[in-house]
């Protein structure tokens, strides 16, 4: 049994290493990874793997413009699940992941460029729900759905709320409508956008419990000069109104 477990762990480690090697290109400065997280980043065909121009969204468009202005080359891949994206960016020099909430326990793990956009944390309920919440503590008695590996789910778990996690956040929309969960802990505007994509509308916000900013997180080995170039490009885009224009195309 122990030997079998060790073989499984070794295989998983080799998969991550091979993935990293396959995505590294001598022709690009950085390898960027993202996930399906509409409207910030998403595969055009809705699948869980895409590369290059087959990826769009608010953050993707902002990142493309930012890298062009900064004169930094990159490759872009959308993968699944988020935990894998996070691990690859954390462990591989020259890698980055977006969009990521910049939290205190992540601060020293990455170099950051942003903010790219807001991500308020909310509790959604069905339109006819009688649930009312004043504080996060009031949600303890309810079944809460969240997204595995996401900062929201991690925060709820640390506070002892024990969310029921899924691999795709949009699955929580139908779970909520079907009565499998009472509340959906998600981001705003991402949660509402995902719900609409699955034909779910009319959800109501019963609690807004945090405001986070979303960033491009770069591996700590990325040169500081590169980070500064990207940050300066993003700052200028915001002054020029480009960031607002991009958001306006999706929201």
164-178 pLDDT tens trace:
999 999 999 999 999
Cα distances from 190 to residues 117, 121, 147, in angstroms, run 11, 10, 12
User: What is the overall mean pLDDT for the chain?
Assistant: 90
| pLDDT band at residue 159 under the 50/70/90 scheme | very high
The pLDDT tens digits for 76-131 are: 999 999 999 999 999 999 999 999 999 899 999 999 999 999 889 999 999 999 99
The pLDDT of residue 10 is 46
Predicted TM-score (pTM) of this structure? 0.73
The pLDDT of residue 26 is 54
What average pLDDT does this structure show over 129-156? 95
Q: How far apart are alpha carbons 44 and 165 in whole angstroms?
A: 25
| pLDDT band at residue 23 under the 50/70/90 scheme | low
Q: How far apart are alpha carbons 218 and 226 in whole angstroms?
A: 10
pLDDT at residue 34 above 70? yes
| pLDDT band at residue 198 under the 50/70/90 scheme | confident
pLDDT at residue 24 above 90? no
What average pLDDT does this structure show over 133-149? 96
Q: Distance from CA of residue 64 to its chain's centroid? A: 17
What average pLDDT does this structure show over 129-147? 96
pLDDT at residue 29 above 50? yes
| pLDDT band at residue 8 under the 50/70/90 scheme | very low
Query: How many residues in total does the chain contain?
Result: 251
Q: How far apart are alpha carbons 52 and 29 in whole angstroms?
A: 15
pLDDT at residue 4 above 60? no
pLDDT at residue 21 above 50? no
Residues above pLDDT 70, as percent of the chain: 90
Q: How far apart are alpha carbons 75 and 237 in whole angstroms?
A: 21
Residues above pLDDT 90, as percent of the chain: 78
| pLDDT band at residue 68 under the 50/70/90 scheme | very high
| Burial label, 222 (beta-carbon count in 10 A; 0-12, 13-18, 19+) | buried
């Amino acid at each position: 049994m122990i030997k079998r477990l060790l073989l499984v762990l070794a295989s998983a480690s080799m998969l991550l290493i091979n993935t990293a090697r396959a995505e590294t290109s001598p022709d690009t400065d950085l390898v960027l990874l993202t996930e399906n997280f509409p409207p910030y980043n998403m595969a055009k065909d809705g699948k869980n793997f895409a590369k290059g121009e087959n990826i769009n969204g608010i953050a993707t468009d902002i990142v493309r413009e930012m890298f062009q202005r900064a004169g930094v080359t990159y490759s872009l891949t959308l993968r699944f699940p988020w935990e894998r994206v996070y691990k690859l960016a954390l462990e591989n020099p020259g890698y980055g992941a977006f969009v990521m909430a910049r939290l205190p326990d992540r601060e020293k793990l990455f170099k950051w460029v942003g903010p790219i956009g807001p991500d308020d944390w909310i509790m959604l309920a069905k339109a006819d729900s009688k649930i009312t919440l004043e504080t996060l503590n009031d949600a303890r008695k309810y079944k809460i759905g969240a997204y595995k590996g996401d900062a929201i789910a991690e925060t709820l778990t640390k506070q002892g709320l024990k969310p029921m996690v899924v691999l795709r956040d949009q699955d929580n929309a139908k779970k909520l409508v079907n009565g499998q969960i009472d509340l959906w802990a998600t981001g705003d505007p991402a949660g509402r956008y995902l719900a609409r994509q699955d034909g779910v509308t009319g959800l109501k916000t019963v609690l807004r419990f945090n405001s986070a900013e979303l960033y491009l997180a770069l591996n700590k080995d990325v040169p500081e000069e590169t980070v500064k170039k990207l940050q300066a490009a993003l700052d200028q885009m915001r002054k020029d109104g480009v960031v607002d224009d991009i958001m306006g195309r999706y929201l």
